[in-house]
Amino acid sequence: MRSNLDYICFRPIGIIHSPFKKAEGTPIQASAAGDIQGTVEVFKEYAEGLCGLEDFSHIILIYHFNLSRKTSLKVKPYMDEAEHGVFATRAPSRPNAIGISTVKLIDIKDNVLYIQEVDIIDGTPLLDIKPYVKEFDTRTSDKKGWLENNVAKLDKTKDDGRFKK
User: Pick the residue with more confidence: 134 or 146?
Assistant: 134
Residue 34 in any domain: the answer is yes
**What is the chain's mean pLDDT, rounded?**
84
User: Pick the residue with more confidence: 11 or 90?
Assistant: 11
The phi and psi torsions of 2 (rounded to 5 degrees) equal: -85, 150
CA distances from residue 53 to 32, 59, 129 in whole angstroms, order as listed: 24, 8, 9
Residue 56 in any domain: the answer is yes
User: Pick the residue with more confidence: 16 or 66?
Assistant: 16
Report H helices in 7-155: 134-137
Residue 144 in any domain: the answer is no
Beta strands in 1-146 (DSSP E): 14-17, 37-42, 58-64, 74-75, 84-85, 98-109, 112-116, 124-131
Return the SS3 of 102.
strand
- pLDDT, tens digit (0-9, with 9 covering 90-100), for 66-113: 888 777 798 877 777 888 898 988 788 888 889 999 999 999 999 999
Residue 38 in any domain: the answer is yes
Residue 165 in any domain: the answer is no
User: How far is Cα 63 from Cα 123, in angstroms, rounded to an integer?
Assistant: 11
Neighbours of 14 (CB within 10 A): 24
The CATH code of the domain that includes 56 is 2.40.30.70
Domain with 85, as residue range(s), is: 14-135
pLDDT at residue number 90? 79
Residue 161 in any domain: the answer is no
Residue 164 in any domain: the answer is no
Using an 8 Å Cβ cutoff, are 162 and 83 in contact? no
pLDDT at residue number 28? 60
If one counts the domains in the chain, the total is 1
Residue 163 in any domain: the answer is no
